[in-house]
Amino acid sequence: MSQSNIQYPQDENTPTSHLPFSPCAVVGNLVFVSGQASVDASGKIIGDSFEGEFRRSIENLRAVLKTAGCDLQNIVQTRNYVRDDADLAEYNKLYAEYFQNPLPTRTTITNCLPSTIRYEVECIAVLPEAD
């Protein structure tokens, strides 16, 4: 597959990072979204409660998906990174607010993030079919 078959959509509402990665890549009808953490529009980490960081991260994920032409309901897989085991119950409660049946497949990894963030999420989505 040539590089020309891969798109990297981005606009002024796409969360940015100072780190070397693209927010998302679109290959065919698949959308691959890089890890989204609790950052503001300039890419600065915004520390908060677990709930605050979770919600900001999911909204950043939603913003990246929008640039590619889809939303949370188009996600088929999430990978979630939770810094502290103690936050798992809250994580599951909050996750259920954003994702309903049929639920995307999911992996959750704990005790893996630096002290600067509590939560990060990445995903694979499928573009909706054109009407």
Domain boundaries, the chain: 3-126
User: For position 14, what pLDDT does the model report?
Assistant: 79
| Verdict on whether the full-model pTM lies above 0.95 | no
How open is the CA angle 129-58-87, to the nearest 5 degrees? Answer: 135
- Residue 102 identity: P
pLDDT tens sequence for the chain (131 residues): 456 799 999 888 777 777 778 899 999 999 999 999 999 888 889 888 999 999 999 999 999 999 999 999 999 999 999 999 999 999 999 999 999 999 999 999 999 999 999 999 999 999 998 76
Strand 119-126 versus strand 30-36 pairing type: antiparallel
pLDDT digits (tens, 9 = 90+) for 56-72: 999 999 999 999 999 99
User: For position 1, what pLDDT does the model report?
Assistant: 47
How open is the CA angle 113-119-122, to the nearest 5 degrees? Answer: 95
Give the CATH number of domain 3-126. 3.30.1330.40
